[in-house]
A and B are shown apart, each in its own frame.
Chain A
Amino acid sequence: MSGTWALELDGVTKVYGEQPPVHALRGVSFAVRRGELVAIVGPSGSGKSTLLHVMGTLELPSEGVVRIGGVDASGLSDRELSRLRARQIGFVFQQFFLAEHASVRENVADGLLYAGVPAVERYRRADEALERVGLSHRASFRPTQLSGGERQRVAIARAVVGTPAIVLADEPTGNLDSTTGASIMELLHELHANGATILMITHDAGLADQLPRQIRVLDGQVVSDTACDRGDVA
């Protein structure tokens, strides 16, 4: 199994509060193969963010199973979940979340800080990742000296530096103008072409349509999945 699937969700339900309970996710099931580029699309309030948190093991589901790279996240301790995130999941956020006092290179290397990788190796791989996102010439810059698009590239480099099983990108173009956004989309396609598994969350249907597979969510449920339509998933 773990050879094929980067991410599997099976009957995932997330309920917040008790009176009245809010059903953020209702029995969500889908699976993402290694090397896929997938869009999760839905309007605000559809449960996208909760889905991202559950897929990223930042939250555990109320019911159902989440598997990352074949590992069942439920029942893992905080330490084990942290280890799973450190090595198997890369995050890209709408707000970039870069450390302003540190150089671009340090920011990217910090993607491996909690993965038990020695410093020398972290910086070597950071240089490689920066090359992949086309920012080698900015390695010694501070994030404040970069444009928005460049900052998002740094954040993407940080997400892929540890070659995780899956990259979760939350509205990666949300804070960028359309031209810069397009270049970021191009970068995601390139990374995908080189074998990365990327799952992008967006409210923008137009953007989602540029990706090979779209999973539409509404009211905490999957309403359509182009892979199922094509019969890719059993």
Chain B
Amino acid sequence: MIATDSRLGWRDGLRVASVGMRARRLRATLSALGIAIGTAAIVAVLGLSSSSQAGLIAEINQLGTNLLTVEAGQSFTGGQAKLPLQAPARITHLDHVEELAHTGLVKEAKVYRSALVPPASTGGLSVRATSLNLTAVLGVGLARGSWLNAGTAREPVAVLGAVAAQRLGIDRIRPDQRIWLGHQWFDVAGILEASPLETDIDSSALVGYPAAQQYLGYLSLVHGAKESGPPSSIYVRTATGHEAAVQSLLAATANPEAPNEVNVSQPSDVLTARAAAAGAFDSLFLGLGLVALVVGAVGVANIMIISVLERRSEIGLRRALGATKGQIRTQFLAESILLALVGGVVGVLAGAAATAGYAESKGWAILIPVEAWSGGIAAALLIGALAGLMPAVRASRMPPTVALRTV
């Protein structure tokens, strides 16, 4: 009989779906707010962790990923192995090795602020003999004072790592600044900045190899002659792109007799992996965001149920005007989805703004993962659909005669 299709176009559908929101703006705003807060929390948590991670990785890249570390591992019998005295010289001859520095851990020596500090209170600090090019190879700057030179390397003079200086309570360099190191006074020449690639340096007092030999007894006997050393850590800068090739040769080159007693690592790799793990997200805030979303969903469901009851006469009128049950159901479902979607979009924008603001203040690149914002919007859509389903079905099942009955 009547052939023409009476489905609503998308524009009419959208207009009908937004009737409730337009008629009661404050209520719509408040119920969308719950969704917005939840989405904002989730987007901000994911955005901030990604941005901080990106910041950390950028920092690591700036320090250079071409640094390799060679360290003495464990001997076959389980004891602490030693690197051969000649290891640095041998490694220097490898292709693609650009620079090399090394330090030797002086286990017997401890460092204190003064002679009066009990020997057990080492503060977790260690003493290392160092080659003079250490700061250049590691890319560590000086915070205060000066680095060792050929002269001070022979004298009882130390340079402190950032953490060591802090623990010893030294924040500036004075001419008479001294520390009690290996049972004698050492002058402090300088304080280093933090060394992200090699944190052992941070908690060390560094002295020259000649000084270590003379004042701390750190030496090796080679054919009866005393030589300073051996090194315990060797830092190798390779030509960029040849890290893997050099890395594969380092153990055998450092200690040809026992390559398995040598540990070779790439600190930037370790840091990057650690950054990735640490950047994974703050599960507490993510959990709070999810709770806010659930509460928001309950809010939307609640509002929709009230709305269906309040708008009985509208439902009745629409039925009288020729709306099918399906059209009434679609109207209320779409309204709920629209409400949640508005909340979701506002939440994503707020979360992105929070991330941008914080990342900006920290000097990080702003990074909001696609999964964060798309997931936020998808979650809002899903919540809207779930929250609106029951009220929409109720509205569609309401007999028009009941809907039109005036209270």
Interface set of A (CB-CB < 8 Å, partner B): 53, 56, 58-59, 71, 78-79, 82-87, 89, 91, 93-95, 97, 99-101, 110-111, 113-116, 119
Contacts and interface: CB of A to CB of B under 8 A. Distances in A.
A101 B19 contact: yes
Contact of B319 (A58, A93, A113): A58
B320 A85 contact: yes
A87 B322 CA distance: 8
Contact of A82 (B4, B12, B324): B324
Interface string B35-70: 000000000000000000000000000000000000
B128 interface: no
Contacts of B400: 53, 58-59
A80 to B, nearest CB: 8
B144 interface: no
B133 interface: no
Interface string B320-344: 1111111100000000000000000
The list of the 9 closest CB pairs from A to B, nearest first, reads A86-B322, A114-B322, A116-B6, A82-B324, A58-B400, A116-B4, A97-B317, A85-B322, A91-B320
A163 B110 CA distance: 102
Given A58-B404, A101-B22, 5 more contacts: A78-B324, A82-B6, A85-B320, A114-B318, A119-B9
B122 interface: no
Interface string B5-17: 1111101100010
B222 interface: no
A94 B319 CA distance: 17
5 contacts: A82-B324, A85-B319, A93-B404, A97-B316, A116-B4
B77 interface: no
A119 B322 CA distance: 16
Contact of B6 (A78, A86, A99): A86
Contacts of B326: 79
Interface string B379-407: 00000000000000000000111001010
B1 interface: yes
A82 B19 contact: no
B404 A100 contact: no
B277 interface: no
A114 B313 CA distance: 17
B23 interface: yes
Q: B8, B16, B314, B317: which has the most chain A beta carbons within 10 Å?
A: B317
Interface in B223-246: none
A83 B323 contact: no
B2 A83 contact: yes
Nearest to B6: A116
Contacts of B16: 113
A82 B322 contact: yes
Contacts of B399: 58-59
A85 B6 CA distance: 12
A116 B12 CA distance: 11
Most chain B beta-carbon contacts within 10 A, residue among A58, A101, A114: A114
Interface string B263-290: 0000000000000000000000000000
B19 A59 contact: no
A58 B19 CA distance: 23
Contacts of A113: 8, 12, 16, 321-323
A84 B1 CA distance: 10
A82 B323 contact: yes
A115 B6 contact: yes
A116 B5 contact: yes
Nearest to B9: A119
Contact of A87 (B2, B7, B9, B324): B2
A99 B321 contact: no
A114 B323 contact: yes
Contacts of B313: 95, 97
A53 B321 contact: no
B181 to A, nearest CB: 82
Given A85-B320, A116-B6, A99 B19 contact: yes
Contacts of A100: 23
Contacts of B4: 116
Contacts of A78: 324-325
Contacts of B324: 78-79, 82, 114
Contacts of A116: 4-7
A216 B75 CA distance: 113
Contacts of A84: 2, 322
B319 A99 contact: no
A59 B5 contact: no
Given A95-B313, A114-B327, A119-B12, A86 B321 contact: yes
A169 B399 CA distance: 20
Contacts of A93: 317, 404
Contacts of A111: 321
Contacts of B7: 116
A110 B222 CA distance: 102
Interface in B348-407: 399-401, 404, 406
B217 to A, nearest CB: 91
